[in-house]
Amino acid sequence: MIYFKPTDPIKLEFLLGQNIEEAKKILQTDFTISDSAYFPNVFFSKLEVVRNFHKTPYSYLSIELDDTKKIKSITIHFTKKVDNTFYNSLISYYGKPSKIHVVDTKKVSEGYGNSEFKQYLKQSIITTREGTLKENPIAIFWNEKKYQIKVLNEFGTLFGCDLTFRLPTDKF
């Protein structure tokens, strides 16, 4: 059992490796399993009340389970892009990030598809390079012994920003 004082920020990294029932109690929310075949072990929660993580509002959470039904990752989905105040708060709490990625090049191609539906398609292909917080990062990574943290800002997210805590892997 994990215990937090009511005044403590929730430390999502401590839920990694636990079962989903523990997360439901700590986070005080229910999760619904994804109906997508692409995400068979992912559970989502649309929160009834907007919450804050490091003073940044969010209302969506997702949890991915491993094959033993233990929590493999927890993602907070922020509704808009985060700013340097958020980054600085994370850095003061978790330390200096292992990597910061910024856009190096961006190529956009757009036009109508060749299908019978005449859909207008737009594709963006970006390359990244190591950068700094001052360069508007799109990805920030922390590699710790017991967990990893990834922030995806704008590109590659369905929302404005995703913050993921996960068990260590070499594919992060």
Predicted local confidence at residue 110, as pLDDT: 81
Largest CA distance in the chain: 58
68 compared with 5, residue with greater pLDDT: 68
Q: Does 28 reside within a domain?
A: yes
Q: Does 115 reside within a domain?
A: no
pTM of structure: 0.82
Predicted local confidence at residue 58, as pLDDT: 87
Q: Does 59 reside within a domain?
A: yes
Q: Which structural domain, as residue segments, surrounds residue 140? A: 12-103+129-166
Predicted local confidence at residue 85, as pLDDT: 86
Q: Does 116 reside within a domain?
A: no
Q: Does 87 reside within a domain?
A: yes
DSSP state of 64: E
Q: Is residue 17 pLDDT above 90, yes or no?
A: yes
Q: Does 72 reside within a domain?
A: yes
Region 10-23 average pLDDT: 90
Q: Residue 4: which pLDDT band, with cuts at 50, 70 and 90? A: very low
Give 34-71 pLDDT, tens digit per residue: 777 677 788 988 888 888 888 888 889 999 999 999 99
Instruction: State the residue for tokens 């003073």.
Output: 55
Name the amino acid, one letter, at 24: K
Number of domains in the chain: 1
Share of the chain above pLDDT 70, in %: 87
C-alpha 148/C-alpha 74 separation (Å) is 11
- Region of 67 (left: φ > 0; alpha: ψ -120 to 50; beta: rest) is alpha
Q: Does 113 reside within a domain?
A: no
Give 72-115 pLDDT, tens digit per residue: 999 999 888 878 888 888 999 999 999 999 999 989 888 776 76
**Cα-based angle 75, 77, 83 (whole degrees, multiple of 5):** 110
Q: Is residue 145 pLDDT above 70, yes or no?
A: yes
Sign for the pseudo-dihedral over CA of 12, 149, 106, 84: positive
Predicted local confidence at residue 30, as pLDDT: 86
